[in-house]
A and B are shown apart, each in its own frame.
Chain A
Amino acid sequence: AQSVSQHNHHVILSEAASLELGCNYSYGGTVNLFWYVQYPGQHLQLLLKYFSGDPLVKGIKGFEAEFIKSKFSFNLRKPSVQWSDTAEYFCAVIPPHNNNDMRFGAGTRLTVKP
């Protein structure tokens, strides 16, 4: 089945370490891609999004993501994480066949140790 997948289930880093979380999708054609963050007890918030243009997208809180079409990937990066980045991170995709559809990957739990 067509889907979006996140291979890292739980990532543990120390403060100031660099972060890269993987996201792959299996839809052909043009897709809309997003990264959302869910802090403990809070609602889902958008970090960044991509549809077209520059494949390197900058978001809030120092996050960025790179769209690599040939790899069907949209990995999230941050050069130096902080304790406050501890949260659940979800990749989401709007597939080409239905612009109202929005699917989430399994999520990656990030724990940043002070």
Chain B
Amino acid sequence: DTEVTQTPKHLVMGMTNKKSLKCEQHMGHRAMYWYKQKAKKPPELMFVYSYEKLSINESVPSRFSPECPNSSLLNLHLHALQPEDSALYLCASRIPGGVNTEAFFGQGTRLTVV
């Protein structure tokens, strides 16, 4: 199983809402990533968890709150977002610190903030 599963596929939320994005993988990968991708732009790194500990935080606003409850799951909690936060949010997993190991990506959650 080389799948990274993200739910929901689409999400529309108001600026006062609280919602969560979920990501799951069963490849035994202990590094998990959140990326943000705007239309016609590359994925931008947001957070990296390694062995369930936050390893990289790319100075992401606190309205985005990541959580890694166990080695298979990664959440992104959203609160008080702005319309400019509308984007495709991608989850990826990888062998942490592995040499020559690629990241596997989910299909993404298309988020629209209204």
Interface residues of A (CB under 8 A from B): 32, 34, 36, 42-46, 49-52, 90, 92, 98-107, 109
How many pairs of A and B residues are in contact by the CB < 8 Å rule?
57
Q: Is the CB of A51 within 8 A of B33?
A: no
User: What are the residues of chain A within 8 A of B97 when measuring CB–CB?
Assistant: 99-100
Number of B positions contacting A (CB below 8 A): 26
> B108–A99 contact, CB under 8 A?
no
Which B residues lie at the A interface, using CB under 8 A?
31, 33, 40-45, 48, 50, 55-56, 90, 92, 94, 96-100, 102-103, 105-108
Sampled A-B contacts (30; CB under 8 Å)? A42-B107, A43-B105, A43-B107, A44-B43, A44-B92, A49-B100, A51-B100, A52-B100, A90-B42, A92-B103, A99-B97, A99-B98, A99-B99, A100-B48, A100-B50, A100-B56, A100-B97, A101-B45, A101-B48, A101-B56, A102-B33, A102-B92, A104-B42, A104-B43, A104-B44, A105-B42, A106-B42, A107-B40, A107-B41, A107-B42
